[in-house]
């Protein structure tokens, strides 16, 4: 079992930066495929960035070059640094984990564990 708790530091304005974090607890050694997803109202969740135990990182095309995913193994924290924010980045963001690879959800495979999500609103 894994518990994921998301948090956000600061507020977001267009063109600015924001970092969201996710602290994992429980069976984290075996569930170390981690990702961030976003969900817009009335739409399906979609992957934003993922990181695998071997360091392989995937980004959605819409955030490539703007967002950076990283892991701090000492604190079991995965962070998403979001730069050059745009109003279109406004969404609920969810941290997710599994013991098997799931990419960005585009393979039809979804992670087993999810955080409750946090709202990120980018003001113009």
The backbone torsions φ and ψ at residue 45, rounded to the nearest 5 degrees and listed phi first, read -65, 145
| Cα separation, 66 vs 82, whole angstroms | 6
pLDDT digit string (tens) for the chain, length 124 residues = 999 999 997 788 999 999 999 999 998 889 899 999 999 999 999 999 999 999 999 999 999 999 999 999 999 999 999 999 999 999 999 999 999 999 898 888 899 999 999 999 999 8
Question: Token pair for residue 100?
Answer: 């098997």
DSSP of 5-74, one letter per residue?
A: EEEEES-EETT--EEEEEEEEESTTT--EEEEEEE-TTS--EEEEEE-TT--EEE-TTTTTTEEEEEETT
């Amino acid at each position: 079992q894994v518990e994921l708790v998301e948090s956000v530091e600061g507020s977001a304005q267009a063109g600015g930066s924001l970092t969201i974090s996710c602290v994992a607890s429980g069976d984290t050694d075996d569930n170390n495929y981690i990702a961030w997803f976003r969900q817009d109202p009335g739409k399906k969740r979609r992957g934003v960035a993922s990181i695998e135990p071997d360091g392989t990182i995937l980004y959605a095309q819409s955030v490539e070059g703007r967002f950076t995913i990283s892991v701090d193994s000492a604190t079991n924290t995965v962070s998403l640094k979001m730069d050059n924010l745009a109003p279109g980045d406004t969404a609920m963001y969810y941290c997710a984990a599994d013991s098997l690879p799931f990419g960005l959800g585009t393979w039809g495979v979804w992670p087993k564990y999810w955080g409750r999500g946090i709202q990120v609103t980018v003001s113009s």
